[in-house]
Amino acid sequence: MRPEVLMNSLFALALSTPIWGFSLQPPVLGAPVVVPDVASQVRTVVVEEGYYDDDYGIDTAAEASAEARNLALMDWTRALNVTTTIAMAVTGAFGIIQFYDEYHFESEYSATPCGMGAQGDPVFDYCGDSTPVPHLIGAGVSAGALISTFIVSTQIDFDRAARRDGDWRTYETTRWIALALGILQAGAGAFLANIDRTDVLNYEDPDDFDIMQGFAVAHAALGVANVGMNLANSILLF
């Protein structure tokens, strides 16, 4: 082809391109890359998992993960607190039976079921220096449940928890009261269980018996306070 003909053809093509919408772009060698909307994907995943909520400011995967962990800790705390309450109530029932056997609101030990021996027909028959096994086991379970509840609760983000239920903010304080009462109760129980094994007080002495009975009543009152405090905490958490 002659040079002048080639130049005329190129000139005509260049002129017609903007007029007729022709394109001189190179051909597309592959499908266009579609970049996913990462933010919307995160939002969708969070919604499906049930943790997304505009009211709580949870709109990222990291926030959802933190919220999920906190919710799990809250569930564990609820369950352990209920367990503690039940264990303390059962322990208290054993304690009442022990009180019936050893004290019975009598003026002297010889008039109690334990003091009367076989004629008194004590329920548990853990008298005097004998270790009240059912009450001791119940106390051990109660102490373990109480301590476990408190330890788990220390891992809770109470700011997050309070956004869902303001009662968690109250529990943040009352759990310390429950722990203090539990420690006090354990100390009182250990003292009462071992005082007769010393030379300080003796069941057989009427005056000493009255003192020991007073300690037993105080121990029972602490038990009621413990059950009440943990029951109140359980109600708070549900």
8 Å CB contact between 212 and 195 = yes
Number of domains observed in the structure of the chain: 1
Q: What pLDDT shows up at residue 33?
A: 44
**Rounded to an integer, what distance in angstroms lies between the CA atom of residue 115 and that of residue 109?**
5
8 Å CB contact between 226 and 181 = yes
Give which of 36, 34, 68 is closest to 51, Cα–Cα: 68
User: Which pLDDT band holds residue 43 (cuts at 50, 70, 90)?
Assistant: very low
Assigned domain for 204 exists: yes
Provide the domain limits for residue 195: 67-237
Q: Which residues of 109-143 are buried (b: 16+ CB within 10 A; e: fewer)?
A: beebbbbeeeebebebebbeeeebebbbebbebbb
**Rounded to an integer, what distance in angstroms lies between the CA atom of residue 158 and that of residue 161?**
5
Exposure on the CB side of residue 138, measured as CA atoms within 13 A: 23
Whether 36 shows a pLDDT value over 70: the answer reads no
Which residues lie below 8 Å from residue 42, measured CB to CB, with a gap of 6+?
59, 60, 61
In this structure, which amino acid lies at residue 233? Answer: N
User: Which tens digit of pLDDT belongs to each residue from 157-214?
Assistant: 999 999 999 999 999 999 999 999 999 999 999 998 888 777 788 888 888 999 999 9
User: Which pLDDT band holds residue 44 (cuts at 50, 70, 90)?
Assistant: very low
Assigned domain for 44 exists: no
34 vs 77, residue with greater confidence: 77
- The token duo for 85 is 């309450």
User: Which tens digit of pLDDT belongs to each residue from 82-112?
Assistant: 999 999 999 999 999 999 999 988 889 989 9
Assigned domain for 132 exists: yes
Assigned domain for 6 exists: no
**Rounded to an integer, what distance in angstroms lies between the CA atom of residue 169 and that of residue 19?**
73
Q: What pLDDT shows up at residue 40?
A: 45
User: Which pLDDT band holds residue 125 (cuts at 50, 70, 90)?
Assistant: confident
Exposure on the CB side of residue 162, measured as CA atoms within 13 A: 9
- The token duo for 206 is 């009427």
Assigned domain for 193 exists: yes
Assigned domain for 41 exists: no
3 state SS of 65: helix
Whether 233 shows a pLDDT value over 80: the answer reads yes
Q: What pLDDT shows up at residue 54?
A: 54
Average pLDDT taken over every residue of the chain? 82
Whether 154 shows a pLDDT value over 70: the answer reads yes
